[in-house]
Amino acid sequence: MPVVNVDPDELRRLTGHDEKSDEAFKEDLFALGLEFEGETEDGQLQLEFGPDRLDRLSVEGVARSLRYQYGDDRGVYVPNTNDPDWTVVVDDSVPDERPYVTGAVIRGVDLDDDALDSLIQLQEKLHATMGRKRAKGAIGIHDLTMLKGAGYGDDGGNSVTYRGVDPEGDRFVPLDADREMTPADVLESHPTGETYAPLVDEYDRYPAIYDELGLFSFPPVINGRRTEVSTDSRELFVELTGTDQWTIDRMCNVICYALDARGATVEEVTVEYPDERLVRPNFEVDEKTVAHERIEGMLGVDLDVEEAVDLFERSGLDADPEADGETVTYEVSIPPYRTDVLHPLDLIDDVGRAYGFNDLDPSYPDVSTVGGRHERSVHESAVRTSLVGLGFEDLLNFHMISEAENYDRMGIGPGTDVVGGGAPVTITEPYSEDYTMLRTWALPSLLMVLENNTHRAYPQDLAEVGLAAAADDGENTGVAERRTVAGAVARHDATYEDAKSRLAALCHDFDADLATPATTHPTFIDGRAADVVIDGETVGVIGEVHPRVLVEHDLELPVAAFEFRLDALA
Amino acid sequence: MRLPESQVAVLEAASATEQRTIEQVSEATGLKPETVTGAAFDLEDAGLIEVSERTDASTELTDEGHRYHEAELPEVSLHRAALDGAGGDDPGVDIGRAVAKSELGDRANIALSNYERSGYGTVSNGVVVPDEVDPGADEVTAALAAVADGDTPGDDLLDLLERRDLVVRQERTVRSVTLTDEGVTALMEGVEAAETVDRLTPELLTSDEWQDVEFADYNVEADAPERRGGKVHILRQTAERVKDTLVGMGFREMDGPHADSEFWINDCLFMPQDHPARTHWDQFALDVPPMGEIPADLLDRVRSAHLAGVGDDGQGYHSPWTEEVARGVDLRGHTTSLSMRYLSGHEIGDLEPPERFFSVEKVYRNDTLDPTHLLEFFQIEGWVMAENLSVRDLMGTFEEFYAQFGITDLRFKPHYNPYTEPSFELFGEHPETGDLIEIGNSGMFREEVLRPLGVECDVMAWGLALERLLMLMYGFDDIRDVHGTLCDLDLLRNTEVLH
């Protein structure tokens, strides 16, 4: 979940609430869904929240939410914007994979160190969340005064061009570098370039933005050094590129609102696609209809219309009530920095936060149902209880395992016709070599536990009732899942008989008819292994574990073991 | 009168007129002295004999003393050899020859060092010169004999024997028994032996002999050998307890596949296909063919919810959605896949509200392994389906559930999940430390989740890691000791049973 670092002094200043202590802020923020996680070294509050309200990814946004909650601000706020002077021309050469661009001009910013840090944090957090690590949307912020716009239109407007560039085409000096590089050089040898190279290195042409002087931005990878923003910057050019227009427009809005809160003025830009002209940022206000009854039903409380409107307004929304007989509905206006409102219910959630969910009285629902266990889990428990009664320690092991543990160390091979020899269900991109597949049987897990507990007292009689799986094209999931019962008796005088007597007792408990005709299985000693045949069906194997397998597991005493399908005891 | 066999023997061996020591009684009865002592005290308790004590100083031969008493002192042997060897012109005998002749071996040094002191002659320059002294009249030999006979030699000689470690002097308590008048009367009236037995045997029971036997006392305070029975795994025990609690609250248990399509795991949950959770949770994708069978109408409705939203005012995600992704098979990252299967009606048929369902089943997440995170863990999942549920109902249900585990004073932090709205993270007070701790995630399923599934009423749901509950209840700090092949058998064996 996103974490935003917020300077409490900045928060006091931006909310206008000098009297609020850090503790008071923490309480108020908890009610809004921002959880205090800790403090940074320089005393900033680390706040964690769900990735819905991305407008809160900066101290300015957090302060705005608090001012609404306190009732200092009400209703939808939309900043005034100046008419466009700059145009972003989208050239035909723009890579098809990243066709969209948007932007804004910001004038009259006053960036001290804190404000600049906050802006950089906001940019990074937006990249990490909505921007999907820059794949879906990437932000570049530039010092406008360092740009030289190409003349555009009749009235002296300026323009930059979003276009494609050959990887080895034009050269520029990227941020954090001191020499000119081609885009390909950047991907190859610049640290930031290396990080983001996977986003573009398959493209024939790379995305780039040019002004009159040449390439100044290489989205989504890095900006040019020429237009780098500093605390001296007073006018900014914000550009965003990506794979979805709506997404980058909303990211742009979040940035514009944060800078507006610092007293800057937002100026529109024109985006000139070959077949369409947009004016951005898009501060259009959405509307949704919410029924009063639904609010009351969801919160479980009665509300006056005035109360409901107040709660909407303290959520930064406007609500226009309309009565139709007994029924009241609200036309709710939603500000353009909101990225999370997909349905009227999302607005009811806002009303609940403003009301204070923790002020609601919990009530046990007056709904009567009959409970019960699933027969599979009841059966599993019963078998487990029997095993424990026979003296087995009940175990619970992982379903994921490695090929080495599942097959090699047990002396069997995948895809062979023995118990445990099923075809593996493998994990596509395993992170750990210890967990690369689903276990085809449970005995390897028991032997691993024995191996890890040789320093513990014997006898060690272990059993597990759990999941095993093998690849099976006949299944809808491609995976045949089954429950398996495994038992191992490890003691200095363990013999086949020890395993057989316990297995027989277990079968007896479940009125199952057991036979053990001789078989061969590489995990067990020849002549001391048998098929487990229950009610006439071969369902498993039993025997004395082969010394080769014991030694492989560093065991210095004999182990007799069995494993069979749980459903045989049904 | 019936008495244990040993007591009868002691009673009969005792005299009314003469004190008899335990040793004497032991000799007379053939019982071990400790048995006699035990019986004597029991008889004294019964008033049949009197036990008196005196402290005896006694002197006993050491093993070495015994050997010399039975054979001969080394210096005496040496003296005999020297007397034999000397004679004529030669008054002395070479030490080597004398030692060899006397067959002293490694006792030669003892013989030589006591030779002169015993007045048998002189030893110098490798030659033993014996005086004409009778080796048969050795006073140390006589003193050893006296000690052996229980007599006391003179103090000087006794000191000498003690210095040579040939005797030990010690004090000991000597107990003696005398018959009391009651004892005499009892004997005259007749005393029968009752048998003392160690084990109660089937023969004793079936023959009725148990009525005539005394059971030997055991040391009932002594430690018994350690014994270990099997035990249901503590995480399973915790799961059973959760299941019992939920069944008691009217919930029915769900069951379903661990390997499932992303459609059931994520798409039904209205998780956009490019949602960070679908990459960041890093579920385990499986190398198996795409899921073949997904109900076509459901697939269409879910796709539509993602792309266009649900309801007149709804809107979808600005994210790509493909069937190819939906059909990919993963290990489930949450058991909400089961909830989707049940709610859709494809698992056990269409459901009519009200319904309550739960599961306590394994889920798989590609997390970093640490003391509180495993790649596989158990998720408690529960939901309630009914007309007109409010968040107050949700809060009331959770208060009831968590109170069963000692967790009270719940707080609800508004939260965001793609599949619920409103959503809450649940916080509660730790039963031991009182700290505010996160104990679950919850919410009302979104209409974008429910409507494609064909559910027209409200459904509230919550989830919680079972391991978290276990660690709270047992105070474990490393889950790896409990769950998985690195488990510590001692920990599993020795953990207290909670009930």
Per-residue pLDDT tens digits for A124-152: 999 999 999 999 999 999 999 999 998 88
Q: Across chain B, what does the average pLDDT equal?
A: 88
In angstroms, the separation between the Cα of residue B248 and the nearest Cα of chain A is 6
Assigned CATH for B2-62+169-215: 1.10.10.10
**What is the CATH T-level fold of the domain A3-70, as seen in this structure?**
Phenylalanyl-tRNA Synthetase; Chain B, domain 1 (3.30.56)
In angstroms, the separation between the Cα of residue B257 and the nearest Cα of chain A is 7
Say yes or no for a CB contact (<8 Å) between A427 and B318.
no
A310 marked as part of a ligand binding site: no
DSSP label of A336: T
Assigned CATH for A81-280: 3.50.40.10
In angstroms, the separation between the Cα of residue B498 and the nearest Cα of chain A is 16
A350 marked as part of a ligand binding site: yes
Say yes or no for a CB contact (<8 Å) between A393 and B492.
yes
The reported pLDDT for the residue numbered B148 is 85
**B267 has a pLDDT exceeding 80:** yes
Q: Do domains A3-70 and A286-357 have the same CATH topology?
A: yes
The tokens describing A47, both together, are: 């706040």
At B27-36, the pLDDT tens digits run 998 888 888 9
**B155 has a pLDDT exceeding 90:** no
Q: Regarding predicted confidence, which is higher, B78 or A242?
A: A242
At A331-342, the pLDDT tens digits run 999 999 999 999
Q: Choose among B251, B312, B395: nearest Cβ to A371.
A: B251
User: A115 near A43, Cβ under 8 Å?
Assistant: no
Residues of B in Cβ contact (< 8 Å) with A343: 309-311, 313-315, 421, 446-448
**A536 has a pLDDT exceeding 50:** yes
A7 marked as part of a ligand binding site: no
**B433 has a pLDDT exceeding 80:** no
Residues of A in Cβ contact (< 8 Å) with B292: 476
Residues of B in Cβ contact (< 8 Å) with A340: 416
* A266-270, B62-66, B144-148, B158-162: which is most confident: A266-270
The reported pLDDT for the residue numbered A2 is 84
Coil/strand/helix, residue B486:
coil
Instruction: List the single best residue of B226, B231, B233, B439 to mutate versus A (max A Cβ within 10 A).
Output: B233
Residues of B in Cβ contact (< 8 Å) with A471: 288
Q: Choose among A244, A349, A381: nearest Cβ to B240.
A: A381
The answer to whether B335 faces chain A, any CB pair under 8 Å, is no
Residues A374, A360: Cα–Cα separation, whole Å: 35
At B86-116, the pLDDT tens digits run 766 677 888 888 888 878 878 888 888 888 8
**A479 has a pLDDT exceeding 90:** yes
In angstroms, the separation between the Cα of residue B237 and the nearest Cα of chain A is 10
Residues A437, A426: Cα–Cα separation, whole Å: 4
Q: Can you say whether residue A539 is alpha, beta or left, with left for phi > 0 and alpha for psi between -120 and 50 degrees?
A: alpha
**A155 has a pLDDT exceeding 80:** no
In angstroms, the separation between the Cα of residue B289 and the nearest Cα of chain A is 6
Residues of A in Cβ contact (< 8 Å) with B362: 399, 467
Q: Choose among A33, A349, A399: nearest Cβ to B362.
A: A399
Neighbours of A510 (CB within 10 A): 14
The tokens describing B99, both together, are: 């030692």
Instruction: List the single best residue of B385, B416, B449, B466 to mutate versus A (max A Cβ within 10 A).
Output: B416
The tokens describing B81, both together, are: 């050899």
The tokens describing B458, both together, are: 């409200």
Instruction: List the single best residue of B263, B391, B394 to mutate versus A (max A Cβ within 10 A).
Output: B391
The answer to whether B422 faces chain A, any CB pair under 8 Å, is yes
Q: Choose among A342, A362, A448: nearest Cβ to B309.
A: A342
Mean local confidence (pLDDT), B415-427: 93
Q: At what angle do helices B74-85 and B108-115 cross, to 10 degrees?
A: 80
B24-43 residues touching A, CB cutoff 8 A: none
At A218-237, the pLDDT tens digits run 999 999 999 999 999 999 99
3-class DSSP string for B157-173: HHHHHHHCCCEEEEEEE
Residues of B in Cβ contact (< 8 Å) with A397: 484-485, 487
Say yes or no for a CB contact (<8 Å) between B230 and A362.
no
For A482, nearest residue in chain B (alpha carbons): B257
Q: Across chain A, what does the average pLDDT equal?
A: 95
The answer to whether B386 faces chain A, any CB pair under 8 Å, is yes
Q: Answer yes or no: CATH 3.40.50.1820 is held by domain B235-494.
A: no
Residues 6+ apart with CB under 8 A from B318: A244, A246, A247
User: A34 near A27, Cβ under 8 Å?
Assistant: no
Assigned CATH for A375-569: 3.30.930.10
**B214 has a pLDDT exceeding 60:** yes
Coil/strand/helix, residue A173:
coil
Residues A220, A138: Cα–Cα separation, whole Å: 5
Say yes or no for a CB contact (<8 Å) between A429 and B228.
no
Residue with tokens 């004997």: B187
Closest CA to B274 of B320, B210, B233: B320
Between chain A and chain B, the number of residue pairs with CB atoms below 8 A apart is 276
Residues A161, A142: Cα–Cα separation, whole Å: 15
B300-319 residues touching A, CB cutoff 8 A: 309-319
Q: Choose among A50, A361, A388: nearest Cβ to B415.
A: A50
- Scored b (16 or more CB within 10 A) or e, B196-208 reads beeeeeeebeeee
The reported pLDDT for the residue numbered B416 is 92
The reported pLDDT for the residue numbered B87 is 67
Residues of A in Cβ contact (< 8 Å) with B389: 365
Mean local confidence (pLDDT), A236-241: 97
Residues 6+ apart with CB under 8 A from A522: A410, A411, A412, A418, A546
Burial (0-12, 13-18, 19+ Cβ within 10 Å), A435: buried
Architecture of the domain spanning A286-357:
2-Layer Sandwich (3.30)
Length of chain A: 570
Residue with tokens 């570098």: A177
**B395 has a pLDDT exceeding 80:** yes
Residues B311, A347: Cα–Cα separation, whole Å: 14
Closest CA to A231 of A147, A143, A145, A146: A143
Say yes or no for a CB contact (<8 Å) between A371 and B248.
yes
The answer to whether B105 faces chain A, any CB pair under 8 Å, is no
Say yes or no for a CB contact (<8 Å) between A456 and B490.
yes
pLDDT band at B280 (very low <50, low <70, confident <90, very high): very low
Reported ipTM: the value is 0.92
All structural domains of chain B with their residue ranges: 2-62+169-215, 235-494
Instruction: List the single best residue of A27, A334, A366, A377 to mutate versus B (max B Cβ within 10 A).
Output: A377
In angstroms, the separation between the Cα of residue B170 and the nearest Cα of chain A is 46
